[in-house]
Amino acid sequence: MKNIDQYYMQQALALATRGRLTVSPNPMVGCIIVKNGKIIAEGWHIRAGQAHAECLAIKQAGEQTKGSIVYVTLEPCCHTGKTGPCTDALIKAQIKEVIIATLDPNPQVAGKGVQQLKKAGIKVKVGVLEKQAQELNKIFFYYQQYQKPYIFAKWAMSLDGKTTVNADDSKKISSDKAAIYTHQLRNICDAIIIGKNTLVEDNPRLNVRLDIKSAIHPIKIVVFTKIQEVDLSWQILDQTDAKTIFVCTDITDSAKQILQSLNLEFWILPAQKDKVCINSLLKKMANTGITSALLEGGMKLIENFATVYAINEFITYISPVLVANNNPKRQLVINKTSYLGCDLLINSRIKEDQNV
C-alpha cells in the first residue's frame, strides 16, 4: 500500500461526513483506532454538545487502546466545553501515536492539543490529507478565522441572463433537480437570507423539503430597510420549523407590536448608503452563533453582499430557456459546453417542438 497513513485518514474523513447535517456550529470530525494493522474502533462527532469522535472510538475499543494508533481528522481539543478534553481521554487510554489531518483553528486549541499529547509522551504527526480536512470543514475554519458566517449566494437565470419570469408564466426558471440541490444547500446552512422584495413577491416558506428524516430547517432571515408593516399572510411568520428574524434599519411602532405579539425576533442595525450595513449584519449573525448562510436573493441583496466581498461561494443555475421581451419561456437544447480560457461556452438551439 502506497501510504498507509493516507489510507486510514481517508476513512476517518469519510466517517466525519456522517455528521454533516447535525454538528453545526462544531466541525465534522472522524476518528479511527488501529492496532497491529487492523481497525479496532471508529467514531465520528454526531451532534453538537455530544461526545467527540475520539471519545466515541476510545469507548468502542475498550481495553484494546493501549499501544494503538489514532487517526483523527482534526486536532483533539484540550479544553472543557460541553464535553471534556479529548487529549485527556487519549492520554488515559495509553495511545501510542496520534496522527492528525489538520490543526484546529479555534484559539482555545490551535496547537495546544498537540503540545499536551507530546508532553504526555505520545508521538504526534500532523498534516496527513490536510487540504481535504480543511475543505471538509471550510465553514468552521472560516468562522473561526474571521468571526463571520460563511456565505453561499444562489440564483437561477435563463440563458439570456434573466433571473425572473413573467407573472403569467411559471415562476421557476431552474429544474426540479436544481430545486432539490437548493434544499440540500439549505440543509447544511444555519440560516437562509432573503430581501423584502423576494418575501413580498414569492411569499416563500424557506424551509427544507427533502424526503429525509434528518432534515434540519435553517433560521429564516429577511432583510428590509424600514419595516413599515407586517403582512400576516407571510408564510415565514410560522416558526414551527425554525425561527424567523427580521433585519432592518428602522421599524414602525405598529410593525414592532405585531412582531412582538408573534414572538418574532427583529434586529435594528446601522445603515450604510440607506440600506442595512452588511458587515454589521454579518457580525450580528456570528455573535448569534450562525456560522453559515444561504443567500437566496433577490439580486439587489446579493449585489449588496458582493459589494463588500461578503460572499464566499457563488452557486448559479443557468437554465436552457429564453425569457426576454415579455414572451413565455422558450426551451432550448444544449448541444455542447466547453471552456475557452476562463469563459464557459454554451452552444444551444431552440427545441424543435416549439414555434419560433
* Cα–Cα dist 34/321, whole Å: 54
CB count within 10 Å of CB 138 equals 14
153 annotated ligand binder: no
195, three cell numbers: 430581501
If you search the block for the grid coordinates 442595512, which residue do you land on?
Answer: 276
86 annotated ligand binder: yes
206 annotated ligand binder: yes
Distance, C-alpha 281 to centroid of its chain? 17
Residue 219 near residue 192 (C-beta atoms within 8 A) = yes
285, three cell numbers: 449573525
Instruction: Compute the half-sphere exposure of residue 152: CA atoms within 13 Å on the CB side of its CA.
Output: 23
CB count within 10 Å of CB 188 equals 16
261 annotated ligand binder: no
Instruction: Establish whether 265 is a catalytic residue.
Output: no
**Burial class of residue 202 (count of CB atoms within 10 Å of its CB; 0-12, 13-18, 19+):** middle
Q: Which of 54, 135, 201, 303 is catalytic?
A: 54
52 annotated ligand binder: yes
202 annotated ligand binder: yes
169, three cell numbers: 408564466
198 annotated ligand binder: yes
Question: Position 184: which residue type?
Answer: Q
Instruction: Compute the half-sphere exposure of residue 235: CA atoms within 13 Å on the CB side of its CA.
Output: 11
Instruction: Compute the half-sphere exposure of residue 137: CA atoms within 13 Å on the CB side of its CA.
Output: 32
229 annotated ligand binder: no
170 annotated ligand binder: yes
- Phi, psi (deg, nearest 5) at residue 343: -90, 145
156 annotated ligand binder: yes
286 annotated ligand binder: no
Give me the helices (H) in 44-175, please: 53-61, 86-92, 112-119, 130-136, 138-146
192, three cell numbers: 437562509
Numbered residues of the known binding site for Zn(2+): 52, 77, 86
Indicate which residues carry an active-site annotation.
54
Numbered residues of the known binding site for NADP(+): 156, 198, 202
